[in-house]
Chains A and B, each alone.
Chain A
Amino acid sequence: MRTIVVEHLARVEGHGGITVELDGNTVGNVHFDVVEGARLLEPLVRGKRFDEVAPILSRICSICSAAHTLTSLKATENAFGVRISPQTELLRELMYRGESIESHALHLFLLALPDYLDYPSATALAADQPQAVLLGLRLKKLGNLIQETIGGRAIHPVNAVLGGFGKVPSVEHLIELRGALIEGMKDSDTMVDLTASLPAANFCHCDTAYAALFSPNGDSYYSGDQVMVAAKGDLSLIRAADYQTLTNEKAVPHSHAKHSSFHERPFMVGSLARLTINPRRLTGRLAATMERLQLQLPSNNPMDNNKAQALELIRDVERALEIVEQLLRDGVKDERPVGIQPRAATGTAITEAPRGLLIHSYTYDADGRITAADVITPTALNAADMEARFRRAVEECPEREDTVIAKRLQMIARAYDPCISCSVHLVRRR
């Protein structure tokens, strides 16, 4: 019996990794370990006023801070029956696109690309191929600019508040953003050329279920209150308020992150799931790119999530430009946020963070103070599916050399784009 350990998946060493036990050719336990301390999110917000919650929970992760902020606002608004304006909906969607551009550019260019091209790190890649790294950094900067223009700050946005926006972007800032997005369209074309030139990554194949926000127009990270699950041709729709019938969380002994399953099967969330659930997005330029990247849906290869992110990156830039042009054409109204009347109620919101479904659910008392909070991140939702794919990858690996297996496992882990620092989910409902 031997054990292969892939460590260093987290910001803090030894706080997240993969462990595989092998007995000859027989694969034993395969664990995706998330062993960092409990996040204890509930005590951080319990007793807080409704307007204090989003600023606290946005700090769960600075890369996903817009997603946590906007999902938190939506959950509280749902609890209090607040309906936001179409302009607010549009501005929030734009913030989401910015975060997705930034996150996908970081992941594709600085984390996944070195794996594909066999460099040990982004810095080693930059020494040989600086243009590729600079392209990624430019796209990442574009995503930052969108979030800063709309959210007021690149990290932990302040303009997005309950019921709307405390401050809306100026025409001058939107014109500046439009110029940057037009340049970004060219960069996203170059990104496709680069992605299409990468070697294939075909070392893990197994069917899985996919879950994503079912958006009314088939193309939103924010609008919509239902999740669709696709499993072997069967489709299920789940309302946000019924999210526990999707997650069915169970504690597992080797990880602080609970595992989720739907009808006793793990499922995948993220870019590949979004494209599978909402195929209406894949028309025109996206359809041609999909063919060029040789991506077929539904896919049984988790590495295809990287191709799906590349497709989304194109669409995110394109959609962000559409929104900015619409705002410039229609004018941005200096509307005040909708007033909040707290009441004893529970509100749940589900949105699409860059790496998949994000769920926030809060219960408030009559004074508008939180009595229970539940935050479920995409990485926690993916944890069981990741383990299943890790097992399959080891079973498919003919070499059985530790270094080969470890590299493949790390590449699959990266393809899921997990956020170890925010994946632990120990929030308890009362």
Chain B
Amino acid sequence: MKPLLIIGLGNPLMGDDGVGCAVVERLAADPRLPDYAEAVNGGSDLLRCAGWMEGRSRVVVIDAFEDGGDPGSVLVLEGAGSLDERQSHVHHLSTVQSIRLLQMVAPAPLTLLGISVPSVKAGSGLSPMLAGQMPAILDRVLRELTWSSSM
């Protein structure tokens, strides 16, 4: 088992919502991905990935943020930071709620990387604006992985 697990979240059928999945798919095929890291697609339910997290020294979760930031900019938070978890769902827990819950029942070092997305709407694939930012996003995420591993 590799000590660093990177989980990409999102629904690729909802346009930019799938950016987390797109990033880990590219990372998994990127020769720059460190040997000690494993990148996986977590779909849209982080709790389902709880079993994969067991025994890791660090987990990095990548998800889309609809926060009005510049498309492709990356926000780095330890745990879920001070994000509002009131955004609840009838069907599954939000990423923020899931992280808080997992940290209560199975505490482990976890970093959340939020990628600002311009829009979330039905359709396969990323918007041209976000797709154009993908090289920069990958560079930023890879820098964060190196930093994470030194923690």
Binding site for B on A (CB under 8 A): 8-13, 36-41, 44, 59-63, 65, 102, 106-107, 110-111, 120-123, 126-127, 130, 133-134, 137, 140-141, 144-145, 154-156, 410, 413-414, 416-421, 424
Query: Are B90 and A11 in contact (CB-based, < 8 A)?
Result: no
**CA of A10 to CA of B44, assembled, Å:** 12
**CA of A37 to CA of B123, assembled, Å:** 9
**CA of A9 to CA of B89, assembled, Å:** 5
- Nearest A residue (CB) for B92: A63
**CA of A120 to CA of B84, assembled, Å:** 13
Tell me if B86 counts as interface (CB < 8 A to partner A).
Answer: yes
**CA of A209 to CA of B12, assembled, Å:** 35
- Nearest A residue (CB) for B41: A155
Binding site for A on B (CB under 8 A): 11-14, 17, 41-45, 47-51, 66, 85-94, 97, 100-101, 104-105, 120-124
Question: Closest Cβ of chain B: how far from A39's Cβ, in Å?
Answer: 5
Question: Closest Cβ of chain A: how far from B134's Cβ, in Å?
Answer: 19
Indicate whether A155 sits within 8 Å of B42 (C-beta atoms), given known contacts A140-B47, A141-B51.
yes
Query: Are A110 and B47 in contact (CB-based, < 8 A)?
Result: yes
Q: Which of A12, A40, A102, A420 contacts B91 (CB 8 A)?
A: A420
Question: Closest Cβ of chain A: how far from B26's Cβ, in Å?
Answer: 17
Q: Which of B13, B90, B104, B122 contacts A414 (CB 8 A)?
A: B90
**CA of A111 to CA of B91, assembled, Å:** 8
Query: Are B90 and A121 in contact (CB-based, < 8 A)?
Result: no
**CA of A421 to CA of B121, assembled, Å:** 11
Query: Are B88 and A8 in contact (CB-based, < 8 A)?
Result: yes
Indicate whether A44 sits within 8 Å of B86 (C-beta atoms), given known contacts A11-B44, A59-B12, A140-B47.
no
**CA of A49 to CA of B111, assembled, Å:** 40
**CA of A73 to CA of B104, assembled, Å:** 39
Closest 4 CB pairs between A and B? A62-B43, A37-B121, A37-B122, A155-B43
Q: Which residues of B contact A36 (CB under 8 A)?
A: 14, 121-122
Q: Which residues of A contact B50 (CB under 8 A)?
A: 137, 140-141
- Nearest B residue (CB) for A415: B90
Q: Which residues of B contact A60 (CB under 8 A)?
A: 13
What 13 new A-B contacts, CB under 8 Å, besides A63-B43, A106-B93, A417-B90? A11-B89, A12-B17, A37-B14, A59-B43, A60-B13, A102-B48, A122-B101, A140-B47, A140-B48, A144-B51, A145-B51, A154-B51, A420-B89
Question: Closest Cβ of chain A: how far from B79's Cβ, in Å?
Answer: 12
Query: Are B122 and A13 in contact (CB-based, < 8 A)?
Result: no
Q: Which of B45, B85, B97, B101 contacts A62 (CB 8 A)?
A: B45
Query: Are A38 and B122 in contact (CB-based, < 8 A)?
Result: yes
Query: Are A154 and B48 in contact (CB-based, < 8 A)?
Result: yes
Q: Which residues of B contact A130 (CB under 8 A)?
A: 104-105
Query: Are B94 and A65 in contact (CB-based, < 8 A)?
Result: no
Indicate whether A420 sits within 8 Å of B90 (C-beta atoms), given known contacts A62-B43, A126-B101.
yes
- Nearest A residue (CB) for B88: A8
Query: Are B11 and A421 in contact (CB-based, < 8 A)?
Result: yes
**CA of A11 to CA of B45, assembled, Å:** 10
**CA of A419 to CA of B90, assembled, Å:** 7
**CA of A418 to CA of B85, assembled, Å:** 20
Query: Are B48 and A155 in contact (CB-based, < 8 A)?
Result: yes
**CA of A420 to CA of B42, assembled, Å:** 19
Query: Are A63 and B91 in contact (CB-based, < 8 A)?
Result: yes
Q: Which of A38, A44, A122 contacts B93 (CB 8 A)?
A: A122
Question: Closest Cβ of chain B: how far from A402's Cβ, in Å?
Answer: 17
Q: Which residues of B contact A120 (CB under 8 A)?
A: 86
Q: Which residues of B contact A144 (CB under 8 A)?
A: 48, 51
- Nearest B residue (CB) for A114: B88
Query: Are A44 and B13 in contact (CB-based, < 8 A)?
Result: yes
Q: Which residues of A contact B94 (CB under 8 A)?
A: 11
- Nearest A residue (CB) for B40: A155
Q: Which residues of B contact A413 (CB under 8 A)?
A: 90
- Nearest A residue (CB) for B43: A62
**CA of A156 to CA of B123, assembled, Å:** 18
**CA of A215 to CA of B120, assembled, Å:** 39
Interface centre among A60, A130, A155 (most CB of B within 10 A): A155
**CA of A62 to CA of B93, assembled, Å:** 13
Q: Which of A13, A106, A127, A416 contacts B87 (CB 8 A)?
A: A13
**CA of A130 to CA of B100, assembled, Å:** 13
